[in-house]
Each structure stands twice: as C-alpha cells, then as structure tokens.
Amino acid sequence: MNATWRRRAQAGLKEFACVLPVAWYPALFVYFRNCAEASFAQVWFPLGLFTAAAAAFFLAFAGVARHAAAGGLAAMAALLLAAFWRPVEQFARDLCWTVRYWHLVPLALVGLGLLAAALSWAARRRGVRLERVRTVFAALFAGLIVFNFVRAAPVLADQMRDALRVAAAVPESPPTPAGGEMPNVYFIVLDEYAPFDQLEKYYGVRPVEFEAFLRERGFNVSATSRNPAFYTADVLAGLIGMAPPEKVTRFTVTADRRLDKLVDCPSQETVIRESRLMEFFKARGYVVYVASMLGDIFNVPTPLRADEWFVLPHDQRGISLENTVAAAVLERSAFEPLRYLLPVDVHFYNRMVEGIFRWIEEAGTLKSPRFLWAHVTCPHGPYLFEADGRWRHEPGGNDDPGHYLEQHRYVSWRVARALDALLAQDPGGVVLLMSDHSIRRNFRLPVDDMARIFMAVYCRGEKLDVEGLSGLDAEWLVLNRLFGTEFPVVRGPRPLAGEVP
Amino acid sequence: MSRRAAGLVFALAFGVYLWNANEWVPRWLKAPDEQSLRKAAPLADLPAAEPFAIDDLELNPGTRLQKVFLLGWILPPPAWREPGAGATSCEIVFQSRRAEYRVAPEAQERKDIRDIFGVENPAAATGFRARFSPVAMKKGYYRMGVVVRAGTNDLAVAWASHVFIQDRHGFRIR
C-alpha cells in the first residue's frame, strides 16, 4: 500500500473513530438508565449493530461525497436519525398517513447522501472546516456517554458490592406450630391484574363470574386493597423480603397525582436472592416450588431460592427480547424490522403462562408440605391472548386498551379453573391470590389507582378479614394465623413509599 | 450516460417506487403461507352464498404491515355440491365506494362442514385461511365478502356483518 493510500486510510479511520461515540450513545444511554435491571451482556448486540451501521453509513456517504469528514458528519446524522426514528416516522405519518417506513427510509438515505455531497462542496469550495464540526459532535456524545456513566456509577457500584456480599444466613428452625399443622400454601401473583372496581372504572365491566367463583369457594376477597408501590420489583421485594423494602423506586407526582418524574430506580436483586419468604418455609420443613416469568420472558434477574423451579419442557422453551437493552433500542430505531429476523419466539410468553397455570392445577401431585410461589406476568403485556384463551398471532399494541381487557378476561377464567382443580385436591390448603399493582397504561394513570391491587385469600375455608390489606400485610396475617408469628399487620392503606414530596 | 441523465433516470425510478411502494413492499415481504391483496373490478350482482362463517379474524393496526388474519368457511351453491360438479374456490373481497380489492386465500379442508352439509363434490372448496397486509387499500369504509368462484367466474357472494375502516389509525373494525 503506498503512502497516499496509507494516509487516506489513516484519515478515514480517524473520521470513523469520531463517528463511534454517536453510534454507541443510544445503546449505552439505555443501559446506564436501566442498569439496575439490565446486565451489560445485553448491550453487545445493539452496540455491534450500531457499529456496523456506522461503518456502512460512513463508507457509503464518504464514497458519495469523496470527502471523509463530510461522510463522517453525514454518518453521524444518519445514526442519530436511525436511533430516534420512531418520532420522525410518526411525525411524517401525521402529515401524510399513507407515507410508511418503506417510503421514509429510502428518502432519508437519499437526503443524507445529498447532505454528504453538500458538505463536501462546502468544504472544497467554501473552505468550511468540517473537521472542527465533527470534533465538536464527537466530543459532545463522548461527554454524554461519560455523563450517563457517572450517573449510573452508584448503581453499578452497589451491584458490584452486592455480588461480593455473602448471602444472608439461613434463619434457625423455629418450633413446629401447636398441633403440628402444616397446610400447603400457594402464593399466586397475577401481574397487573386490576381489582374489580378499577376494571369497572376504566372499562365499565366487572368479571362477575370470577367474583361468584371466589365467593362460592370460600375466598376472602378485599375490595379496597392497595400496595405502597406500583412497580413490580418493589412489590415483590416486600413480599419476598417479608418486610417493606429499604430502597424503593422514588418519583414525583403532578398536581392531579399522576407520575411526573422518576428520581431513583434501585435494584431489588439482593432481596430476591436472599429469598426470605422461601427460606421461612424451608426452615419449617416445607418443599419450596417457584414459578416466575421475570427471568425468562422479561430478562429481570430473579435468583429466588427454591427446591424446584417450574421450567417448560425443552422443546417448548424459547428466546424473549422483552425488557432487554436490545429491544428498547431497536423498537425506537429505524432497525426495528430486524427484530422480526431474530430467532425470537413471541409465543414463548403464551406457553409460559399456560404452563404455569397447568402446573398450579396439578400441584396436588407435588411433595407436601409445600410452599408454591407463582408469579404470572399476565394480564401484563405482551398482549398475546384473546379473552377465550386463543393466541394472537402478533402482540396487540399498547395503544389499544382493549387488548388488556381481553387478557384480563382470559386470566379471570383461567385462574378460576386452576384454583378449582387445586382446591378439589387440596381443600385444606391456603391460597394467597393477589396482583402486584393495577392497570397502568404506560404509567399514565393516577398513582393511587395504579397502586390498587386485587386480593383474595383462601384459608382452609375459614373466614379471614383481609379487607384493605396490602399484599405484605395479607402475607403477614396468614403467616401469623398459620405459624403463630407476630408480624405487625397494618390495617388501612399504607402511604406510597416512593413518593417524593 | 451523463451524470445529469443518470440522475434523472434515478429520480424517475425512485418516484415510481415511492408511488407503488405500499403495493409492492407487502408483496415482496410476504411469507410463503401469506397472500397478497390485489385491486379488482367492481363485483357484479351475484346471488347470496350461504351458509358461511368467519371463525377467526385478527387485525393488527398498530404494526407496520398491519397483517390481517382470517379463518372461515363457505359453501358453494347447491348445484356445485354434487359429485362431478366442477372445482370451486373462493376469494375474499373488500368493497368500498372508491375501490375494491381481493385476496385469494389458502383453501382448507373442512371435513366437518362437508359432512354436516353433505358436500360430496371433492373439488368444492369449503374452508379458507388468509393472512395478508391491507396497507395498499385506499382510505374509506369497507365491507368484506366471500366470493365463491368456478375458475374465473364468480358464482355467489356472502357478505360479512363487519365494516372496516382504513385511515390514519390503521385498518380495523369500525
């Protein structure tokens, strides 16, 4: 390679290096904002995708412009447009609804090519110093990456400390309760299952058949229960940690009590890993069974301790992009159609939901005494069930509230069927059936409504006053009744723990 | 060719692509088991075909291709149910004041329907399944029908009770 080519290659690499901070910013921004939930391994795919896109854009536009710096600047513009594509596409469709993705992408590429040519002309004919402009942009985005890293540093430091911390010691075995009774206990959490009055408020309907089923089967149902949080992680931390969590998601509210800003989103992984609720039952001689969709479907680390985990048969397992950095970056970007090319199985969600309900139905065959924890992320999205249980071919979008109602209806009859079978086998068992929060509609509803929960407790057919109790207080009430513990049950609504005045 | 001429040819080709993209792109992207929508001439007056049923209808207005999934069955006219009568097929038709479109669905063997209604002609299609993108459809209100055909001749049509709307919010039931 002669000196000219070497110089050109070096200049090209230098320009490309300036494009990389712009290419990496979208994925790193999403990661640093969500590092409490996401692992760094999720960043590699979007980083790789945007790096490849940066290379393709740079080579194409530098070739069109015959000017490396012009190509670099046009590549930066292309990457920013690609990363924040959704609002641009929406704006264009608002102007002319027949315009679609396959019109806009070629138009954008042609437009950026013309931009590269124009920048090259400006550099050659007018002496514009494009190198200075590209340095400013590169420094700006590098600075933004560092800024977001610094903001996330406390969370990352906490995670490193937690990873090194020794797990909590197993509590000593307490004496067996008087009479030696050890009923099977089933704790079922239905994610985002709205209580009946909230469903009536937002949809004008009430699941009367499910209400009648609960009444006839001897469930104690609360009409006014509320949790002190409406984020799943915070609620689960309380239930599994058996105490109000030390750290919760903090937020401010508007004058009409809707979510304004998030202030802090701490990780609850340590509490989950300690699994105090599971250890409580294990210490009393229970076999602990756990089913959770958070890890497989929503990629939220859920290292619960259990003797046995629910898993789908190997040929029914799948891959989910839900709640990953890749999905968050892709779905807003111009590369969103690539999601459909990835080996992701959208109906993995359906198989998990149906599998867990079947597992609950057949729980009579499991070892006794047993504690069964099942967290079913339904009717929480993705919306892949029709009301009669048929699978949608594609997930229903969040913009149509009818999809949530369909899934709520499905869960109502499906969980009733599961409980009917379970109680037929185990009428002396105890069932705590609750939701973690109510319908949220992308967190646009009033915070007090989002914190409302569905709550129903079956305690061996006995009466139990659960009216107005939070999920944790209901758990404490049941444990006090079964095991003679003295947890301080609080009657009446607890204030929202994360609200910042 | 001079650069100016090349630019003009490119601009022309690009313009043709932009004008027809809503029709071409769904056709290029359709899966092997999916069908394409096509523009059709207005439907002539036809006798009613019955019975028929739509077993499943799924719309996805929130997605880019807004795929419609349709499952159902229809019986051919009585004369075509006898053995020895010719082959029949069916097409889904969407009709509005401004335009009409058709989709040729995949035929489905519906032994249950054949047995119940005594369709002995083995070449008479009964069940149908369609999955297609409606993005090429012009704005308007559409009714949906199922047309029974013998070759290229329309024999009868059954109109569903659904009314669809195609507008900026997507293709959905009114």
Task: Give the 3-state secondary structure of residue B50.
Answer: coil
Furthest-apart CA atoms within chain A: distance in Å:
95
Q: Quick one: which of A491, A16, A419, A468 has its CA closest to A187?
A: A419
The SS3 assignment for A345 reads coil
Strand order, beta sheet including A220-222:
A220-222, A455-459, A430-435, A185-190, A370-376, A287-292, A308-309
Task: Give the closest of B21, B63, B69 to A103, CB-based.
Answer: B21
CA distance A297 to A346: 10
* Sign (positive or negative) of CA dihedral A30, A338, A70, A4: positive
In B73-132, the residues whose Cβ lies within 8 Å of chain A are 131
Q: How many angstroms separate the CA of residue B60 from the nearest CA in chain A? A: 7
In angstroms, rounded to a whole number, what is the distance separating the alpha carbons of residues A55 and A49? 10
Per-residue pLDDT band for A1 (boundaries 50, 70, 90) equals low
Instruction: Give the integer Cα–Cα distance in Å for A131 and A409.
Output: 60
> Residue A446's pLDDT is what?
97
pLDDT (0 to 100) of residue A166: 44
For residue A450, which phi and psi values (nearest 5 degrees)?
Answer: -65, -30
Q: Tell me, what DSSP letter sits at residue A366?
A: S
Chain B partners within 8 Å of A403 (Cβ): none
Contacts of A340 in chain B (CB under 8 A): none
Phi-psi region of B155 (alpha: psi -120 to 50; beta: other; left: phi over 0): alpha
Structure tokens at A47: 């980083």
Residue A175, pLDDT score: 45
* Residues of chain A contacting residue B70, judged by C-beta atoms under 8 Å apart: none
Give the gap in angstroms from C-alpha A106 to the nearest C-alpha of chain B: 9
Task: Check residue A354 and give its pLDDT.
Answer: 97
Give dist(CA A384, CA A378) in Å, integer. Answer: 10
Using CB atoms, which residue from A106, A107, A394 is nearest to B63?
A394
Across the interface, of B21, B58, B139, the residue whose CB is closest to A393 is B58
CB contact under 8 A, A392 and B58: yes
User: Which residues, at least 6 apart from A418, have a Cβ–Cβ distance to it below 8 Å?
Assistant: A357, A358, A360, A361
Chain B: give the shortest CA distance to residue A333, in Å. 13
**Which residue of A lies nearest to B131 if distances are taken between CA atoms?**
A393
pTM attached to this predicted model: 0.78
Q: Give the minimum alpha-carbon distance from B48 to chain A in angstroms, rounded to a whole number.
A: 31
Q: What is the distance in angstroms between the CA of the first residue and the CA of the last residue of chain B?
A: 53
Distance from CA of A234 to the nearest CA of B (A): 31
Amino acid at A174: P
**Residue B97: its pLDDT value, please?**
93
Polymer length in residues for chain B: 174
pLDDT of res. A177: 45
What is the least distance, in Å, from the CA of B62 to any CA of chain A? 6
- Residue B71, chain A, CB below 8 Å: the answer is no
Nearest to A93 among B17, B58, B168 (CB): B168
Q: Could you give the percent of chain A with pLDDT greater than 70?
A: 96
pLDDT in tens, A420-462: 999 999 999 999 999 999 999 989 999 999 999 999 999 999 9
Q: Which residues of B touch A97 (CB under 8 A)?
A: 139, 167-168
User: Does B63 contact chain A (CB < 8 Å)?
Assistant: yes
CB atoms within 10 A of CB A360: 25
Q: Does B14 contact A at CB distance below 8 Å?
A: yes
Quote the pLDDT of residue A163.
67
A165 against B135, higher pLDDT: B135
**Cβ-Cβ contacts under 8 Å for A6 (sequence gap 6 or more):** none
**Is the CB of residue B65 less than 8 Å away from at least one CB of chain A?**
no
pLDDT at A265 (0 to 100): 82
Predicted confidence band of residue B1 (pLDDT cuts 50, 70, 90): low
Is residue A65 a contact partner of residue A116, using CB atoms and an 8 Å limit? yes
Among candidates A59, A500, A19, which has minimal Cα distance to A251?
A500
Question: Above 70 in pLDDT, residue B130?
Answer: yes
Which of A102, A346, A393 to mutate against chain B (most B CBs within 10 Å)?
A: A102
Nearest CA in chain B to A396: B60
**Chain A residue with Cα closest to B55:** A390
How far is residue B27's CA from residue A64's CA, in Å, rounded to a whole number?
31
Q: Answer whether residue A165 shows pLDDT above 70.
A: no
* C-alpha A82, offset from chain centre: 24
* Average pLDDT over all residues of chain A: 91
For residue B103, pLDDT over 70 is answered with yes
Interface test with A, best of B28, B57, B64 (most A CBs within 10 A): B64
**Cβ-contact B154, B58 below 8 angstroms:** no
* Span A23-49, pLDDT tens digits: 999 999 999 988 877 888 889 999 999
Of A475 and A271, which is predicted with more confidence? A475
Q: Name the residue among A491, A436, A481 with its Cα closest to residue A458.
A: A481
* CA–CA gap between residue A486 and residue A328 (Å, rounded): 44
Residue type (1 letter), B127:
G
- Contact residues, B window 138-157, toward A, CB-based 8 Å cutoff: 139
Tell me if chain A has a CB within 8 Å of the CB of B41. Answer: no
Nearest CA in chain B to A388: B56
pLDDT, position B147: 95
Residue B168 contacts A where some CB pair is shorter than 8 Å: yes
DSSP string, A85-118: HHHHHHHHHHH-TT--HHHHHHHHHHHHHHHHHH
Find, in chain A, the residue whose alpha carbon is nearest to that of B172.
Answer: A400
d(CA A124, CA A222): 75
**Yes or no, beta carbons of B18 and A103 under 8 Å apart:** yes
pLDDT digits (tens, 9 = 90+) for A181-191: 799 999 999 99
Instruction: Give the distance from CA B68 to its chain's centroid.
Output: 10
Q: Could you tell me how many CB contacts below 8 A there are between chain A and chain B?
A: 44
**Inter-chain touch B67–A393, beta carbons under 8 Å:** yes
Distance separating alpha carbons of residues A261 and A158, to the nearest angstrom: 23
For residue B122, the SS3 value is coil
The confidence score (pLDDT) of residue A169 equals: 45
What is the rounded distance in angstroms from the CA atom of residue A170 to the CA atom of residue A102?
59
User: CB–CB of B63 and A100 under 8 A?
Assistant: no
Nearest to B64 among A100, A390, A399 (CB): A100
Whether residues B22 and A93 touch (CB distance < 8 A) is answered with no
Which two tokens mark A21?
Answer: 């901070």
**A171: pLDDT strictly greater than 60:** no
Alpha-carbon distance of A74 to A109, in angstroms, equals 10
- A101 vs B contacts (CB less than 8 Å): 64
Give the residue-averaged pLDDT of A249-260.
94
Assess contact for A457 and A210: CB atoms under 8 A.
Answer: no
- What are A108-145's pLDDT values in tens digits? 999 999 999 999 999 999 888 999 999 999 999 999 99
Q: Are A248 and A499 in contact (CB under 8 A)?
A: no
* Residue A310: how many other CB atoms lie within 10 Å: 19
Q: Which residues of A touch B (CB under 8 A)?
A: 93-94, 97-98, 100-103, 106-107, 110, 337, 390, 392-394, 396-397, 399-400
ipTM of the assembly? 0.88
| Secondary structure (DSSP) of A51-94 | HHHHHHHHHHHHHHHT-HHHHHHHHHHHHHHHHTHHHHHHHHHH
Q: Which of A413-422, A452-461, B165-174 has the lowest mean pLDDT?
A: B165-174
Whether A321 shows a pLDDT value over 90: the answer reads: no
β-strands A430-435, A455-459 pairing: antiparallel
Q: What is the CA radius of gyration of chain B?
A: 19
Sequence-ordered list of residues with C-beta below 8 angstroms from that of A401, at least 6 positions apart, any chain = A202, A203, A441
Confidence band for A244, pLDDT divided at 50, 70 and 90: very high
Least confident of A157-171, A261-275, B35-49: A157-171
